[in-house]
Amino acid sequence: MAKVIAVTNQKGGVGKTTVSAHISFALQEAGHSVLHVDLDGQGHSSIYISGDKAINSRKGGAERIFDRLEGLRGDATPCGVDLLHGHLDLGKLDEGEKTSADALALRDYVKSLPYDYIVIDTPPALQLRQFAAMIWADVLLVVVEPEEKALRGFMKVKEVVELLKSKGLLAADYKWRILFNKVDGRIAEQQKVVDGFMESYKGIVIPVPLAERKALINKAYSARVPVWKFKDTPKDLGGIWRGLPSLLGVL
């Protein structure tokens, strides 16, 4: 049975794509078979993983999972992660007639796909694609930034997680985790937010926040390599990103 890791938050730009791609890279490098499912029409994690800039203009990606295709595998990519890519047509899934109950009916199918891990990147909207990823997840990872607006978004995600849970739609033994990204430890306000969360959500907040490193993260993305393989990356920083699966408790 594949272990499913869903990376979510309805807030845009917090780092879902960057984090999900790095979890896939790290699990693959650790010798596991990985399917990356990009449910976001922007296809940014698909571009990162496949190196194909135009991939989000082609259909035949992540929607295949909703079609319950027999023998489904992702497409092989040069980095070794298999991919069900994101593309602009995926928005139709949210506009169609599929419901959370349909997503629930697909959970066993998703978990039976022939991979050790399935990592799902989601679009920044609390609609079917994000609900489906939550419903399929063994580990539901909410990426947040330490600023007020992002935290308000987090509260909405939390409400949805609690609602799905109360309706019996989440996996029985699912775990949820909160990961702070883009943290500047020199800014006292940010540190205060992180510390407050560590206190309120003990055991749920990942104790190592990811530092704000815009230039480096963007250069690694442009070079289509994980941040730890990028030449300018300090070893300790690369080690934190590479260690995300361990920090999540899935390795």
Ligand X SMILES: Nc1ncnc2c1ncn2[C@@H]1O[C@H](COP(=O)(O)OP(=O)(O)OP(=O)(O)O)[C@@H](O)[C@H]1O
- Number of residues binding to Mg ion, judged by CB under 5 A: 3
Residue 210 binding: pick among Mg ion, ligand X, none (C-beta 5-8 Å cut-off by kind)? ligand X
Residue 46 touches Mg ion, criterion: CB under 5 A:
no
DSSP string, 134-181: HHH-SEEEEEE-SSHHHHHHHHHHHHHHHHHHHTT-S-TT-EEEEEE-
Assess contact for 3 and 34: CB atoms under 8 A. no
CB nearer Mg ion, residue 17 or residue 33? 17
Residue 165 main-chain phi, psi, to 5 deg? -65, -45
CB nearer Mg ion, residue 51 or residue 185? 51
Six-digit token string for 135: 């419903």
Buried b (16+ CB within 10 A) or exposed e, 118-131: bbbbbbbebebbbb
Q: How far is the CB of 16 from Mg ion (least distance, A)?
A: 5
Residue 212 touches ligand X, criterion: CB under 6 A:
yes
Residue 214 binding: pick among ligand X, Mg ion, none (C-beta 5-8 Å cut-off by kind)? ligand X
Query: Which region, judged by CB under 5 A, interacts with Mg ion, from 40-48, 100-108, 137-145, 162-170?
Result: 40-48
* Of residues 166-205, those binding ligand X (CB under 6 A): 181-182
Residue type at 25?
Answer: F
CA 235, CA 238: separation in Å to the nearest integer? 5
With CB under 5 A as the contact rule, the residue among 17, 33, 77, 181 that binds Mg ion is 17
Query: Which region, judged by CB under 6 A, interacts with ligand X, from 11-19, 59-67, 81-89, 111-119?
Result: 11-19
Of 26, 30, 25, 7, nearest to 17 by C-alpha is: 7
Residues lying near Mg ion in the complex (CB under 5 A): 16-17, 40
Residues lying near ligand X in the complex (CB under 6 A): 12-18, 40, 42, 44, 124, 181-182, 210, 212-214, 217-218, 221
